[in-house]
Amino acid sequence: MHTLTLAEMRSALESGDFSSVELCRHYIDRIKSQNEALNAFVSITEEQAMEAARVADQKRASGNLDGALHGLPIGHKDIFCTDGVRTTCGSRMLEEFVPPYNATVVEKLKAAGAICLGKTNMDEFAMGSSNENSYFGAVRNPWDNDRVPGGSSGGSAAAVGGRLVPACTGTDTGGSIRQPAAFCGITGLKPTYGRVSRYGMIAFASSLDQGGPMAVTAEDCALLLNEMAGFDERDSTSIERDKDDYVSSLGNSIDGVKIGLPKQYFDAGLDSSIATALQVAIAELEKLGAKFVDIDLANQHLSVPAYYIVAPAECSSNLARFDGVRYGHRCDDPKDLEDLYKRSRAEGFGREVKRRILVGTYALSAGYYDAYYLKAQKIRSLISRDFSQAFESVDFILGPTTPSPAFKLGEKTGDPVEMYLNDIYTIPANLAGLPGISVPCGEAEGLPVGMQLVGNYFDEARLLNVAHQYQAVTDWHTRLPE
């Protein structure tokens, strides 16, 4: 069963090949047998899932389906609040936090009939590119357990890549859906900023964070996005705009579609094996009728330094609420209020989170706000303008998702800057608020390679269409780790 896609499972449930109870039991057994090796899940909701599966089967028998995902198992990144289920954000600070409500994404997927099997591991408060920053230990790549799965949605990527679950939710602040999707050989979509509600999604950087689907195929991501997307009055950053049917347009021809190739994405910093895989993928898209043109995104090289001012500044503000007073970790026997603040935060936050809080607080301080934060926001505007100008002549932009295949655990932990550069190709889309998708397009050193496509604002339907058409003529997304 675990070799099927989400769409294939839905058809099999409809035809009675197996029940939701049998499907969920199969996946829970896989999680139990393989999670020790991957550390992809931090919580398994077996009892709730099996009860939900039994109810789903009863409803199906009576012809009363909840929605398009009725009886299908998924996982949630442990950054989405889940009513009555521990939500840790990969941090000691929230180790025992049990929310009394569901995030909008969780609520919508549940209403569509999806069954949550558990919460997936992640870099603490979504800060990281390797999933080595979790309080609950590093996640391991299913293709090579000595390598990272990417981050911060590494638990979701490893769970889907290892087929412990057919699909998961993730969040993307600077590439945290697309980069781990590339490392683990799956498909990951970051929607346009504001397309998916952030309500109940614990904030890292509020102007950058965006939830999205992670699955085996573009078709599966379309199924999930159909349910996840939409306006939410509880989220002030949610866009009030009609959503598309992301599944119905998957079969459209891509003949004549114009795709831009930025020269900045194919320079000396790109691993030669990834460059080769991309050239083969480009040839496949050309066979489908896509037209390629060279473009110039002149300010892309400034995206990493701008991001690492904007994101830490916003995280400094967002994480100020975790002070040991209202909820979250609280130190033992504080001497006074100042001691409570200091020790609770020192004990509750990990090294990377502390680093970013310090950088962000410094950038926002009175003497440095103009020199750092304001300048970073101006650069952000230049990057957005580069994209807007490019989309006047092309429909999509293609490039690598990552500069190299998955690296070894511990290889980059001693050099934060080298770690940050892993997001060099994904960060620009977040700064501009654009949608982007990563799809498997080859292998290098026996590891998956990801191809990234970036679209114009709210063009997820066509973006998924191109990805689906590419997957219809290739099999990289079907390959499984040994």
Angle at 411 between CA 190 and CA 89, to 5 degrees: 45
120 CB burial (10 A radius; 0-12, 13-18, 19+): buried
> How confident is the model over 414-448, as pLDDT tens digits?
898 899 989 999 999 999 999 999 999 999 989 99
Structure tokens at 94: 């929230």
For residues 99 and 106, is the Cβ–Cβ distance under 8 A?
no
> How confident is the model over 372-386, as pLDDT tens digits?
999 999 999 999 999
Is 108 an annotated catalytic residue?
Answer: no
Is 243 an annotated catalytic residue?
Answer: no
**pLDDT for position 297:** 96
Alpha-helical (H) ranges within 187-294 are 218-228, 272-287
20, 43, 130, 176: the catalytic one is 176
Positive/negative CA dihedral, 284, 303, 128, 411: positive
What average pLDDT does this structure show over 358-367? 93
Structure tokens at 13: 């449930």
- Type of residue at 303: S
Structure tokens at 286: 């050309």
> How confident is the model over 331-349, as pLDDT tens digits?
999 999 999 999 999 999 9
What average pLDDT does this structure show over 12-27? 97
What average pLDDT does this structure show over 46-63? 97
- Type of residue at 381: S
Residues paired with 118 in a beta bridge: 44
**pLDDT for position 267:** 85
19, 20, 77, 129: the catalytic one is 77
Distance, in Å, from the CA atom of 123 to the CA atom of 174, rounded to the nearest integer, reads: 13
User: Considering the chain, what percentage of its residues have pLDDT values greater than 90?
Assistant: 96
**pLDDT for position 326:** 87
Residue 268 in this model has a pLDDT that exceeds 80:
no
**Domains of the chain by residue range:** 6-257+434-478
Residue 53 in this model has a pLDDT that exceeds 90:
yes
**pLDDT for position 307:** 96
For residues 104 and 232, is the Cβ–Cβ distance under 8 A?
yes
Is residue 10 helix, strand or coil? helix
20, 134, 152, 156: the catalytic one is 152
CATH class of this structure's domain 6-257+434-478: alpha beta
Distance, in Å, from the CA atom of 26 to the CA atom of 327, rounded to the nearest integer, reads: 36
Short-list 207, 217, 163, CA closest to 187: 217
- Type of residue at 357: I
Distance, in Å, from the CA atom of 279 to the CA atom of 441, rounded to the nearest integer, reads: 10
> How confident is the model over 145-156, as pLDDT tens digits?
999 999 999 999
Angle at 420 between CA 173 and CA 156, to 5 degrees: 50
Distance, in Å, from the CA atom of 189 to the CA atom of 135, rounded to the nearest integer, reads: 26
Q: How confident is the model at residue 191 (pLDDT cuts 50, 70, 90)?
A: very high
Exposed e or buried b per residue across 145-181, where buried means at least 16 C-beta atoms within 10 angstroms of its C-beta: eebbbbbbbbbbbbbbbbbbbbbbbbbbbbbbbbbbb
For residues 1 and 72, is the Cβ–Cβ distance under 8 A?
no
**pLDDT for position 423:** 94
DSSP 212: E
Residue 294 in this model has a pLDDT that exceeds 80:
yes
The per-residue pLDDT of the chain, averaged, comes to 96
For residues 115 and 24, is the Cβ–Cβ distance under 8 A?
yes
**pLDDT for position 243:** 84
The H or E element containing residue 443 is strand 436-444
Is residue 53 helix, strand or coil? helix
What average pLDDT does this structure show over 132-150? 98
Short-list 214, 208, 238, 191, CA closest to 303: 208
